[in-house]
């Protein structure tokens, strides 16, 4: 088989695989939204002086940060119900949605650490200055410290998104029909082992051209927001 | 003693918590095999990824030529693509053009099996992160050390290997520990190419014994212990290699 033939085959299957890649992007966007929202609460919880809030937040963060993504994914796929009933309405949870929820947990834990790190990176003198000016702890956090943290949190948040996107093909193992699963199906349909390398290279390129600009931009922003 | 433990868990199974691995010899055997493979993956991939990282960082720090460009491209490529796709690429795509051997009973057997491919792709993936880590470590060494070495008559290469690199290694430990924890977690991906590691055997066990929840909790605890162990080991190595006057809280 010539190179041009291989290329023609790859191009022919590309729309099929790109539709799968769309699911990867959808899962990653949903998971980063859920994870960021949850992680904000966990991160602020970690900073709480109330032991009843701080200890569980720290425990959850460490638990979900140190567990393999695949194990958390298995938890959500096997232990979540296939459908939920809310007031007589039954909503079917397709496996890609359950996988998305599975990805949200490690994202939340990682974001929790980003929040905690950013808040701790603000010099302690600012807390003392705010206290001297009569600000309460809450007002200091929300009106002085957190606004400065946002720009510092953006680069690691973007790295986290890139990491999440490259984790989404794991859902293939639990039967979600995303880009990797579709590539495998396409290779089997062509029944030609010479197509294995071009097809998988095309898939790698797809992920690379989506993720690489994100990581580049993150690095540029890090340089701009740098506080050193 | 062992009989008592087995009896305890057999009693426990009647109350709903069915941990077959603690009383069923077959499940116990499978589980230990899986744990062994996971430890093997961590040890081999960790070793090779550190070698790759050290080599890559040395090349990037010493030269600007095509070698540095190749390392830069390797790091960008492996950091920005999914590990599982890399593993599939090696196992299925590259594996399809590898020579096939015949084993003693005449069956086809690939020259490089699932375990070897898993180690190769885990090492390359984690190695790409280690290159960045060690490179950042080199960047953290103040230029004055190198200049002092050059003034004493060291060649740039000697100054790098005898002065900069040993200091850079010590500055890299925190980030290296992070990468090795990520590697420990990533070994579960070897499941996808059929390596009988912990997650794989657990899946077999819960398929046979229908104790999914119990086994999931067991492996979750085991991975938390494993990542804890990795951090502990790195901290021990770091403490053993600590130089007086360097690093935070250097009490020595």
Min CA distance, B245 vs chain A (Å)?
22
| Position B90 in a domain | yes
Contact B216 A79 (CB under 8 A): yes
Contact B81 A211 (CB under 8 A): yes
Contact A66 B223 (CB under 8 A): yes
Q: How many domains does chain B have?
A: 1
* Structural domain for B143, as ranges: 30-240
Min CA distance, A49 vs chain B (Å)?
26
What percentage of chain A has pLDDT greater than the value 70?
Answer: 98
ipTM confidence: 0.87
Residue-wise pLDDT for A124-179, tens only, equals 889 899 999 999 988 998 898 988 888 889 999 999 999 999 999 999 988 888 99
Domain CATH code at residue B66: 1.10.3720.10
Q: What is the C-alpha to C-alpha distance for residues B224 and B252, in angstroms, rounded to an integer?
A: 31
- Using 50, 70 and 90 to split pLDDT, how confident is the model at A226? low
Angle at A70 between CA A178 and CA B178, to 5 degrees: 120
CB contacts of A162 in chain B (<8 Å) are 80
| Position B20 in a domain | no
| Position B4 in a domain | no
- B245, A111 Cβ separation under 8 angstroms: no
Radius of gyration of chain B measured on its C-alpha atoms: 23
Beta partners for B110? Answer: B100
Closest-CA residue of B relative to A70 is B188
- Nearest 5°: phi and psi at B102? -110, 130
Name the pTM for this structure.
0.89
- A51, B212 Cβ separation under 8 angstroms: no
Question: Is 70 exceeded by the pLDDT of residue A44?
Answer: yes
| Position B79 in a domain | yes
pLDDT value of residue A77: 86
Contact B93 A200 (CB under 8 A): yes
Residue-wise pLDDT for A206-216, tens only, equals 999 999 999 99
Query: Would you give per-residue pLDDT tens digits along chain B (252 residues)?
Result: 778 888 888 777 777 777 888 788 888 889 999 999 999 999 999 999 999 999 999 999 887 788 899 999 999 999 999 999 999 999 988 888 877 777 777 777 777 788 999 999 999 999 999 999 999 999 888 889 999 999 999 998 899 999 999 999 988 988 999 999 999 999 999 998 989 999 999 999 988 888 888 888 999 999 999 999 999 999 899 888 888 776 554 444
**Pick from B80, B83, B186: CB nearest A208:** B80
| Position B22 in a domain | no
Tell me the domains of chain A and their CATH numbers: 3-223 (1.10.3720.10)
């Amino acid at each position: 088989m010539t190179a041009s033939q291989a290329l023609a085959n790859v191009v022919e299957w590309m729309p099929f695989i790109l539709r799968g890649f769309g699911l990867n992007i959808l899962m990653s966007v949903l998971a980063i939204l859920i994870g960021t929202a949850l992680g904000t609460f966990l991160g602020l919880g970690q900073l709480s002086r109330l032991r009843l809030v701080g200890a569980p937040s720290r425990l959850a963060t460490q638990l979900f940060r140190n567990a393999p993504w695949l194990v958390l994914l298995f938890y959500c796929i096997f232990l979540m119900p296939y459908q939920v009933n809310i007031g007589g309405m039954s909503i079917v949870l397709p496996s890609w949605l359950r996988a998305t929820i599975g990805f949200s947990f490690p994202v939340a834990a990682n974001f929790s650490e980003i929040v905690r790190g950013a808040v701790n990176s603000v010099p302690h003198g600012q807390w003392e200055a705010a206290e001297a000016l009569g600000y309460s702890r809450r007002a200091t956090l929300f009106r002085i410290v957190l606004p400065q943290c946002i720009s510092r949190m953006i680069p690691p948040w973007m790295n986290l998104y890139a990491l999440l996107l490259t984790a989404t093909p794991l859902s293939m193992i639990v039967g979600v029909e995303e880009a990797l699963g579709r590539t495998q199906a396409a290779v089997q349909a062509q029944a030609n082992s010479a197509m294995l390398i071009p097809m998988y290279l095309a898939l790698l390129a797809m992920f690379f051209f989506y993720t690489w600009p994100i990581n580049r931009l993150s690095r540029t922003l890090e340089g701009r927001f740098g506080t050193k | 003693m062992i009989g008592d433990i087995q009896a305890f868990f057999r009693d426990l199974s009647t109350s709903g918590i069915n941990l077959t691995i603690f009383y069923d010899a077959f499940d116990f055997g499978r589980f230990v095999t899986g744990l062994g493979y996971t430890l093997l993956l961590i040890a081999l991939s960790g070793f090779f990824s550190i070698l790759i990282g050290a080599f890559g960082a040395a090349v990037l720090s010493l030269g600007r030529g095509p070698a540095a460009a190749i390392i830069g491209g390797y790091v960008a490529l492996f950091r920005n693509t999914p590990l599982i796709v890399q593993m599939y690429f090696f196992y299925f795509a590259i594996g399809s053009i590898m020579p096939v051997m015949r084993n003693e009973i005449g069956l086809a057997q690939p020259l490089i099996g699932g375990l070897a491919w898993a180690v190769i792709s885990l090492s390359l993936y984690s190695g790409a992160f280690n290159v960045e880590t060690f490179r950042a470590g080199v960047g953290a060494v103040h230029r004055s050390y190198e200049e002092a070495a050059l003034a004493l008559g060291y060649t740039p290469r000697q100054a790098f290997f005898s002065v900069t690199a040993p200091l850079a290694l010590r500055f890299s430990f925190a980030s290296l520990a992070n990468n090795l924890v990520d590697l420990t977690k990533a070994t579960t991906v070897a499941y996808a190419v059929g390596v009988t590691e912990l997650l794989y055997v657990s899946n077999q066990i819960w398929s046979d014994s229908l104790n999914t929840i119990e086994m999931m909790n067991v492996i979750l605890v085991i991975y938390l212990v494993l990542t804890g162990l990795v951090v502990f080991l790195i901290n021990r190595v770091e403490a053993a290699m600590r130089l007086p006057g360097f690093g935070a809280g250097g009490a020595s």
